[in-house]
Structure 1
Amino acid sequence: MEHVPEDYRDDAPDEHGIPPTTYQALERHLPHGVRDGPRDRKLAVMRRILHGLHGLHPLSPLNNAVRIYVHGWIHRLSPLHHELYTMDPSAFFIPSFLEAIRSNSRDGFRSIMTEPTPGLFVFDMLRPAFCQMLAAEADNFLWWAPERKQGIIRPTTNDQYKCSVVLSEFGLETMLSDLMNDFISPIATVLYPELGASSFDSHHSFVTWFDKGQGEVTGSHVDGSEVTLSACIRQEFTGGEMYFRGVRCTDHVHSETHNEENIVHSQTLGQAMLYRGRHRHGALPTSSGYKTTFEIWCISSLFRRMLDYQTDFTSWCGECRTENI
């Protein structure tokens, strides 16, 4: 059991059964202005956060009505690759990635990564066979649904090309939850300690297709996630590079980009990019061929509650830092 400091040790579990060790674990993640304040104030803030989460279903893009809709017809779709629906690390991931995961250390993670711009990490992750299976499974669903006159849930409201599909729609949610919890969360906890990666409790995962000339599917944007992992699962294209334009808080999401924040990266098959959800980004048009990408948005309900008590974003928002120089 985690050690509880003297000033928490005599506290009994509260009315929701939340033990003092939970408050102690949460305290280290509070904004500095709260964490450095009086104990009574800290406890009041933490109680509002934890009690607000008590009984709350994790944030999820699939609400109960959608889940009923999905499970009502999902059994009618015959999967192409049954092995894709259960996590199999040795079949899905390349050895260097698995070795880094086993190390569970900053040095181990950074040994397989490059960092083209602060906070953007690029590394080889997925086996070609996994990429092929996932792309084929998504293709299968994309063509199957219209033939059965089944609507397709799009991952974003501004998918102008109608070329994305949510992977939870056809049964991959459990496998993707294992991917988030067992592989992405350990890395993000080390690389982004301020984003609550150890408390990820839901994800939004989808595949997007880019045909020739398509790009800017959503334009320059930020994701509805704490951390996003994006990977290329079909590489039969030229162009289609990803661009990044700096990390921003909500108040500065439309502010100008500083020269040093501009970065363009061309994805290769099986290569993953890990970045903050607040890192502005987009895709350039493909000039030939067909590009397919996989994304998983990792979400923490607890972290989002804590943001209600934070006003200082200079540690990660590029524009906040500029204003405070």
Structure 2
Amino acid sequence: MALSDHRCQIICVHSSCVFTLKNKGCVTEDQIKEVLSEVKKELHRRETLGQAYLERRKLIQEKYIPKHPQIFKLKEEFLSQDFISLVKFCKESKTTCPDVIEKIQNGPAEKCYTLPVFTEEYCKLMMEELEHFEDSDCPKARPNTMNNYGLLLNEIGFDEEFLIPLREKYLQPITAHLFPECGGDDLDSHKAFVVKYKMGEDLDLNFHYDNAEVTINVALGKDFTGGELYFGDMRTKHSAQSQYKDYQHIRYTGLLHRGQHMHGAKPIQSGERYNLIIWMRSSKIRNKLCPMCDNEPELVETVGFGDGFTKQEEVINLCAI
């Protein structure tokens, strides 16, 4: 059984919401009605996410013929040798967190790290597969409400034999050392997707935090200029003197950071950028407090991993902000 956080699915549409909208700048009745109409549409979308996913997945399984079927099952030959060596080092019994940090590149901000993940050849094959799927007539769901382009990888078939073993066997040995305070030693679910930025389409991404305990962001390709990530503080830390730090994507390289670390993406200036993003979740952390609404989760049934809450040791779900 999969569950979601009922608190985060319910959007207030009564008088207190109207009062809030007025405080946020909606002055006229027409403006308030327009916003409330959009809120109701979003609520309906969230309530029907699970059923819509099942319908799309069924159609994709029936119709889609992969271009590179071999890439859907994880093999070590797809992974960078430096990444494999790092994972083996992290699994050694005497290895400590400072030992791991010595072997890994520091990123743009505190507790951000860069590391090679996939080979160049695998990234190219995945790019070709993604473009092949985009060109098909299969139904496509976009990653989230902030990205209008990109794909959910579980719907194409990457979860079972690729993403789950990648998280369990390769990423968690690293995150267990680097992020134990936020569940990096017990990441038991994920949401994985690819985002696309291109001139004339999505160019940037607003400042935000992820619905994740730990995030990895891998630059798959292509050629582009601009599009730097920028990092601020953790979402629970508010400082008038926040320093924003940029990170320029390096192709085939991953950036590992805490999901609650505030960040955004600057506009690309030319070309096209694809990034593979995995939001990794720890039920032992989020079962205590939903990371999106800061309340104890009130769980309702859904499908898939969802938002990674658990109940009675089952993976459950979905605080759909």
TM-score by length of 2: 0.69
Q: Distance between the aligned counterparts of 1:72 and 1:197, measured in 2?
A: 35
Alignment of 1:132 onto 2:108: no
Q: Which residue of 1 aligns with 2:151?
A: 165
Rg larger in structure: 1
> Is 2:221–2:274's contact at 8 Å kept on the other side of the alignment?
yes
> Using a 3 Å threshold, how does the CA distance of structure 1 residues 109 and 143 change in structure 2: closer, same or farther?
farther
1:156 equivalent in structure 2: 144
Displacement of 1:128 in angstroms is 0.5
Q: Which amino acid in the other structure matches residue 283 of structure 1?
A: A
Q: What one-letter code is carried by the residue in structure 1 that aligns with 2:60?
A: W
- State the distance in 1 between where 2:268 and 2:119 align: 23
Deviation at 1:214, TM superposition (A): 5.8
Question: Per-residue displacement from partner, 1:65-105 (whole Å, max 9, x unpaired)?
Answer: 6235403432321111112111112x221111111100113
Tell me, in whole angstroms, the C-alpha distance in 2 between the residues paired with 1:285 and 1:164: 16
8 Å CA contact retained: 1:216, 1:285: yes
TM-score (norm 1): 0.68
Out of 210, 224, 240, which is 1:223 matched to? Answer: 210
SS of structure 2 residue aligned to 1:303: helix
- Answer 1 or 2: which has greater helix percent: 1
**Alignment CA distance shift 1:211-1:169 (3 Å):** same
Task: Provide Cα deviations, 1:23-72, integer angstroms capped at 9, x if missing partner.
Answer: xxxxxxxxxxxxxxxxxxxxxxxxxxxxxxxxx63779974662354034
Structure 1 residues 192-211: aligned runs within 5 Å: 192-211=179-198
Counterparts of 1:95 and 1:109 in 2: how far apart (Å)? Answer: 18
1:258 aligns with 2:238: no
Report 1 or 2 for greater relative contact order, CA contacts < 8 Å, sequence distance ≥ 6.
Answer: 2
**AA matched with 1:289:** G
Distance 2:241 2:122 in 1: 38
Aligned to 1:117: 109
Q: 1: CA distance between counterparts of 2:249 and 2:273?
A: 10
Alpha carbons of 1:112 and 1:234: their partners in 2 closer, same or farther (altered >3 Å)?
same
Measured against aligned partners, the alpha-carbon deviations of 1:162-194 in whole angstroms (never above 9, x if no partner) come to 211101111101211111111111111111111
**Corresponding residue for residue 267 of structure 2:** 285
Q: CA RMSD in A?
A: 2.6
Gaps of 5+ in 1: 1-55, 312-325
- Quote the Cα distance in structure 2 between the aligned partners of 1:93 and 1:286: 28
Taking the aligned partners of 1:82 and 1:109, their CA distance within structure 2 comes to: 36
Distance 1:281 1:213 in 2: 23
- Aligned-residue sequence identity (percent) comes to 25
Residues 58 and 184 of structure 1: CA distance in aligned 2, closer, same or farther (over 3 Å):
farther
SS in 1 for 2:289: helix
From 246, 256, 263, the equivalent of 1:274 is 256
| Paired amino acid for 1:126 | F
What does residue 67 of structure 1 align with? 54
1:242 matched residue in structure 2: 229
Instruction: Point out 4+ residue stretches in structure 1 off by more than 3 angstroms.
Output: 56-65, 213-218, 255-259
Q: Which moved more, 1:263-272 or 1:75-84?
A: 75-84
Kept in 2: contact 1:93–1:125 (CA 8 A): yes
Count of residues in Structure 1 that have an aligned counterpart in Structure 2: 243
Instruction: Give, in whole Å, the separation in 2 of the partners of 1:299 and 1:76.
Output: 31
CA distance in 2 between counterparts of 1:284 and 1:230 reads 15
> Offset at 1:112?
3.0
Deviation of residue 217 (structure 1)?
4.0
